[in-house]
């Protein structure tokens, strides 16, 4: 789980191709230089992304520093918040955002639902992060072995209660992955990635 997070990033002013090139470049960081300045991360989404990727590398290599969690940091947060990234992530208990990105209190503005399926309240949350808090980086975060995506892959006829909302939202990605005729793991990985890409496209077209 540690090394297999899928990051697809929505930067306000970049196209998808440029985004993936940026992510690839940042993933090739040299060992032991996994740090990015907090103020720069808030001011510029490129450095924000860098900060997340470096933090995830620290976490994956058991080198987490758990920043900005001291008593003084908590006191400082009473004055207000300036999170450097908005994250739309899955509710999966194994993907706690501050821990996997090795960030602290006041760093991340997060909305989480199963399969990171978005609704109007999610959009309002994202807009609040951008408009009121000045956060410039928006990340849609999928992850390996996502139970919500796996459930959608089974194309259930009558999902219980409101679970149907999740299944229906993920279904286009599930159908796309099934059409690719891969083995089970590759199929699920493709569905997870396709689901993130669909959600980024939805956000871009709001």
Whichever of 49 and 114 has its CB closer to Zn ion, that residue is 114
Using CB under 5 A as the binding rule, whether residue 90 contacts Zn ion is answered as yes
Using CB under 5 A as the binding rule, whether residue 167 contacts Zn ion is answered as no
10 Å CB burial of residue 48 (0-12, 13-18, 19+) is buried
Rounded-to-integer distance, Cα 53 and Cα 119, Å: 27
Whichever of 91 and 105 has its CB closer to Zn ion, that residue is 91
Residue 89 CB, shortest distance to Zn ion, in Å, is: 8
Residue 149 CB, shortest distance to Zn ion, in Å, is: 6
Whichever of 22 and 116 has its CB closer to Zn ion, that residue is 116
Using CB under 5 A as the binding rule, whether residue 146 contacts Zn ion is answered as yes
Helices (H), the chain: 16-27, 38-43, 45-60, 71-77, 97-100, 120-131, 147-153, 163-179, 184-204
Whichever of 90 and 108 has its CB closer to Zn ion, that residue is 90
Residues linked to residue 143 through DSSP beta bridges, in sequence order: 5
The label of the residue with tokens 């995830």 reads 56
Residue 121 CB, shortest distance to Zn ion, in Å, is: 19
Q: Are 6 and 193 in contact (CB under 8 A)?
A: yes
Query: Is 92 annotated in some ligand binding site?
Result: yes
* Of the candidate residues 92, 98, 102, 107, the single one contacting Zn ion (CB under 5 A): 92
Distances in whole angstroms, Cα of residue 174 to Cα of each of 24, 79, 141: 25, 44, 17
The residue range among 138-146, 155-163, 181-189, 195-203 that interacts with Zn ion, by the rule CB under 5 A, is: 138-146
Site for Zn ion in 9-68 (CB under 5 A): none
Using CB under 5 A as the binding rule, whether residue 152 contacts Zn ion is answered as no
**Two tokens at 1?**
């789980």
Q: Are 13 and 130 in contact (CB under 8 A)?
A: no
Query: Is 157 annotated in some ligand binding site?
Result: no
Give contact residues for Zn ion (rule: CB under 5 A). 90, 92, 146, 148
Q: Which residues are annotated as a binding site for Zn(2+)?
A: 90, 92, 143, 146
């Amino acid at each position: 789980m540690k090394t297999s997070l899928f990051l697809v990033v929505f930067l306000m002013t970049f196209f998808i191709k440029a985004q993936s090139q940026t992510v690839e470049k940042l993933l090739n960081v040299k060992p032991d230089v996994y740090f990015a300045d907090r103020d720069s991360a808030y001011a510029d989404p490129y450095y924000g992304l860098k900060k997340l990727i470096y933090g995830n590398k620290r976490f994956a290599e058991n080198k987490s520093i758990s920043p900005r969690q001291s008593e003084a940091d908590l006191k400082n947060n009473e004055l207000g918040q300036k999170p450097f990234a908005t994250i739309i992530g899955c509710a999966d208990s194994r993907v706690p955002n501050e821990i996997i990105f090795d960030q602290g209190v006041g760093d991340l503005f997060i909305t989480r639902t199963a399969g990171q399926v978005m609704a109007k309240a999610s959009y309002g949350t994202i807009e609040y992060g951008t408009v009121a808090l000045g956060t410039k980086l928006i990340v849609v975060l999928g992850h390996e072995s996502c139970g919500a995506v796996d459930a959608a892959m089974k194309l259930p006829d009558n999902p219980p209660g409101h679970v149907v909302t999740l299944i229906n939202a993920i279904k286009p990605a599930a159908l796309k992955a099934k059409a690719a005729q891969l083995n089970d793991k590759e199929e699920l990985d493709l569905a997870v990635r396709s689901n993130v890409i669909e959600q980024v496209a939805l956000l871009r077209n709001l």
